[in-house]
A and B are shown apart, each in its own frame.
Chain A
């Protein structure tokens, strides 16, 4: 297709300083596409995209059928599209393509759909190949893959698993081969990928910036040179790029002859079992990748070392706890022990040993926060007033409303919901008439095949009837509104409850950031409840406040609930479709009343008021310790509120997984 794409100014692959694991991952895929793609996780500005785009120039050339939209291999009788089968087609050689999947893509452009201009003129339904067709036998590259709409992710998963794209839409029935190397990049700060999609990537590497001055300066020097004179720079690195291209090409030829000793099967199985991976894809990926590595290094036989080296790449994202915990903080390296256990490395300096398994310092901050409940104690007679530190944070389990059919007007990621405001990402079209958000492209496609038989007016080429009208189905992921109602009474200061609570709130806030939620915070202590933080999307302010939240005094639980109800009522007035989530963190020991009644009964009656509104979902987090004598006030409160009831430890995503697994 003709467009204004400038001739690409690609940074040469060999000019990338360091990042050896990432380069290795890409090369292994280039040698054997059966390795199954690569996911590159890492911080901003670490040559992730640069490397992927540059890869095309070191890949061997490809024989394709001239003019075939699916780039069929003329010599392959099995994997060939309908139009090339049986026909004599001219062969043309070209470089492997890197096809970009932009975040703005709509579904029919990815899988293919009806070509309306051809259909109008010919009066029949003509298929227009999509991105998946273009990616056949090439590389499908998704930058920021974790931000792609879930819907598209599902579609791509499906095709990448089967190697064939089956289109049944808009009156078209079509299938074509779609085998591609799936390469994705992502910054884990922006949210995790679903485990299912994670598993679909053969290999996974983590990248981070260079850490010594000399190589950092070298990165800088090269980039600067490239920016100033790209052509001269490319010329300088051309010999190296060409040598690498040849090496890959030779490796491809050698690959079928690389022997795979039987006893290595046992090693692979052992490594996978040790890492506690789900399913068998890891085993297959490792054997492919190890063979590719052997071929690339010119060996005729796969060695133990090959297996162990690629195992790190294949297991990083598959280890079970890791895949389910969607917070990088818990991303410890489960397989770190493997190489040491099985065999010492022969060439420890050949590849930077640690790089794929290092957890960036920033991501680990949660673990580094000390648990010390004795912070800045200000002595008081009745209850000590104190400010406690934030306890350790963790990945939180899913909390939220079910996906529903209600129309909302917020942006965020917690609850998936269709929107009725002409906002949000246009994902697909529908023949249902909901509002006047007409999808003109889909409308024209629906009308196109009938044009030869229709009367056209006003000099238009397309006559549209009412039945052709299609509307846009948009999807935004609405953030919810989270209201934290925090018990800040003196009893919370005991036994590290507040430290743990702050840790839990912090974890929920982290989760809220990734899901683009709005938050507010109410705390209650002494005689009253105060709105510490009015509804805001600034998670930063919430964090600051949390740090400074003091503890001390009695427990006016009823006042806290009433105040919370007030905040929620205002939010609901502004946006009636909003579904607030109340998170009540307390030990439930109410001992201060608003009126003259029993404090706890007052609290329960306030809770009844909240429970009567079905739009509000409540969660009670009980901070009372287990064992010994328990009042279980919080559990009773949760029952009245019709709330989900958790102890702090139940909130953890990984713990939940454990419970589920034991249950099975």
Chain B
């Protein structure tokens, strides 16, 4: 495969909320992903694909199809004997490890269920008469980013399966003669054009954050977009090189935020601010509260602080709540909701 560079994340003009949402998710992958809603041609997919540029590194066992950090976490390589794992399962006591970038795995709309969850390895079965598990896309996506373009058009039964494993962080396969489970914790990133139909609320709720984006209205910025795009199309490699310093800067900033994030504290008043906002807005369940707190914390870390401030919560709420405000399955994620969130959160701030 020709390794053509992707349009660099750093070179995207505007769309700051989108960029922030993606960056916060890299800082704390447990935030739970981003849903990007917007019209056609607003750099939705470009931003997600380009994110590979700024992703930090992670350690993995070499050839491990499940992207395990070390062999002890996996009982397959651990005892090596009756391996269902399709990895090379090296026999050396010390596993070979390597460092690589966190990967962005794309789930195509036409994917079949067995490709998604994994299935019986037929070749192995025919050759040896043994059962072996053939990992699917969920295995590839573990510890990485699972990207679904046009997520609202995904087949219904695939959505169910996706929800199932996203909820547990575990992919349990009980099909076609194989019974297998492996961890599948991934950051779910979806893009959609709301004109084509809405997402089911259950799936909406699985996305940690939600961003509504629009085309840029500012003429100057639009010219800038065109110019950069032309430059990129003319010589992608050179364009990428030109932006590599900026990419590296963002990447470093993310990495230091990652380290800081674990130390960021949130006072009780912050927790109460979040709980109050969520109650006032009438969100379903508690996932919204948790996502807001995590986002606020990642934001504080990204800005070099070790304490969450009320204004972090205000920003976080705008990202974490719009798709969760309680409504019937057929109300759209209304844009007015954002204003409502802003009002509720700022009222709280005034009171303090």
Residues from chain A with Cβ under 8 Å of B315 in the complex: none
Q: In whole Å, how far is A492's beta carbon from the nearest beta carbon of chain B?
A: 23
Do residues A440 and B120 form an inter-chain contact, with CB atoms below 8 A?
yes
Task: Say yes or no for B12: interface residue by CB 8 A criterion.
Answer: no
Task: Say yes or no for B106: interface residue by CB 8 A criterion.
Answer: no
A window 64-92: CB within 8 A of B = none
Q: How far is the CA of A423 from the CA of B82 in the complex (A)?
A: 32
Q: How far is the CA of A51 from the CA of B131 in the complex (A)?
A: 34
Do residues B125 and A116 form an inter-chain contact, with CB atoms below 8 A?
yes
Given A219-B286, A423-B155, A121:B129 Cβ within 8 A: yes
> 0/1 per residue, A444-476, Cβ < 8 Å to B?
110010010000000111101000000000001
Q: Which segment of B34-42, B47-55, B97-105, B267-275 sits at the interface? A: B267-275
Task: Say yes or no for B196: interface residue by CB 8 A criterion.
Answer: yes
Residues from chain A with Cβ under 8 Å of B79 in the complex: 2
* Closest residue of A by beta carbon distance from B288: A45
> 0/1 per residue, B148-186, Cβ < 8 Å to A?
000000011100110110011010111111111111000
Do residues B290 and A4 form an inter-chain contact, with CB atoms below 8 A?
no
Do residues B156 and A516 form an inter-chain contact, with CB atoms below 8 A?
yes
Q: In whole Å, how far is A138's beta carbon from the nearest beta carbon of chain B?
A: 15
Residues from chain B with Cβ under 8 Å of A276 in the complex: none
Interface bracket on B: 35 or more
Do residues A213 and B76 form an inter-chain contact, with CB atoms below 8 A?
no
Interface bracket on A: 35 or more
Do residues A361 and B330 form an inter-chain contact, with CB atoms below 8 A?
no
Q: In whole Å, how far is B287's beta carbon from the nearest beta carbon of chain A?
A: 3
Q: How far is the CA of A27 from the CA of B27 in the complex (A)?
A: 39
Do residues A46 and B274 form an inter-chain contact, with CB atoms below 8 A?
no
Q: Which segment of B13-21, B67-75, B215-223, B230-238 sits at the interface? A: B67-75
Given A47-B286, A100-B172, A220:B274 Cβ within 8 A: yes
A window 458-502: CB within 8 A of B = 459-462, 464, 476
Do residues A476 and B157 form an inter-chain contact, with CB atoms below 8 A?
yes
Do residues B182 and A4 form an inter-chain contact, with CB atoms below 8 A?
yes
> 0/1 per residue, B171-206, Cβ < 8 Å to A?
011111111111100000000000111101110010
Residues from chain A with Cβ under 8 Å of B131 in the complex: 116-117
Given A4-B182, A189-B329, A537-B197, A223:B127 Cβ within 8 A: no
User: Which of A102, A117, A214, A542 has its CB near the most chain B CB atoms (within 10 A)?
Assistant: A102
A window 407-445: CB within 8 A of B = 411-413, 422-426, 439-442, 444-445
Do residues A44 and B175 form an inter-chain contact, with CB atoms below 8 A?
no
Task: Say yes or no for B249: interface residue by CB 8 A criterion.
Answer: no
Do residues A223 and B181 form an inter-chain contact, with CB atoms below 8 A?
no
Q: How far is the CA of A200 from the CA of B30 in the complex (A)?
A: 36
Do residues A3 and B180 form an inter-chain contact, with CB atoms below 8 A?
yes
Do residues B126 and A4 form an inter-chain contact, with CB atoms below 8 A?
no
Do residues B177 and A4 form an inter-chain contact, with CB atoms below 8 A?
no
Q: How many inter-chain contacts with C-beta < 8 Å in the A-B complex? A: 242
Q: In whole Å, how far is A637's beta carbon from the nearest beta carbon of chain B?
A: 29
Do residues B202 and A5 form an inter-chain contact, with CB atoms below 8 A?
no
Do residues B126 and A444 form an inter-chain contact, with CB atoms below 8 A?
yes
Residues from chain A with Cβ under 8 Å of B167 in the complex: 49, 143
Q: In whole Å, how far is A207's beta carbon from the nearest beta carbon of chain B?
A: 9
Q: How far is the CA of A155 from the CA of B128 in the complex (A)?
A: 32
Do residues B198 and A540 form an inter-chain contact, with CB atoms below 8 A?
yes
Given A44-B287, A116-B177, A144-B164, A361:B129 Cβ within 8 A: no
Q: In whole Å, how far is B23's beta carbon from the nearest beta carbon of chain A?
A: 20
Task: Say yes or no for A190: interface residue by CB 8 A criterion.
Answer: yes
Do residues A102 and B173 form an inter-chain contact, with CB atoms below 8 A?
yes
Q: How far is the CA of A615 from the CA of B176 in the complex (A)?
A: 36
Q: In whole Å, how far is B351's beta carbon from the nearest beta carbon of chain A?
A: 12
Q: Kindly list the 4 A-B residue pairs having the minimum CB-CB distance in the complex, ordered from nearest.
A: A45-B285, A45-B287, A216-B275, A4-B182
**A→B interface (CB under 8 Å):** 1-6, 42-47, 49, 100-106, 108-110, 113, 116-117, 120-121, 128, 130-131, 143-144, 147, 187, 189-190, 208-214, 216-217, 219-221, 223-224, 227-228, 361-362, 365, 411-413, 422-426, 439-442, 444-445, 448, 451, 459-462, 464, 476, 509-510, 513, 516, 536-540, 542-544
Q: A44-B205, A510-B330 are in contact. List 9 more A-B contacts (CB 8 A).
A: A1-B180, A4-B73, A4-B74, A46-B286, A116-B129, A131-B174, A217-B268, A228-B262, A462-B125
**B→A interface (CB under 8 Å):** 30, 66, 68, 73-76, 79, 82-85, 112-114, 117, 119-120, 122, 125-131, 133, 155-157, 160-161, 163-164, 167-168, 170, 172-183, 195-198, 200-202, 205, 262, 266, 268, 271-272, 274-276, 278-279, 282-290, 293-294, 326-332
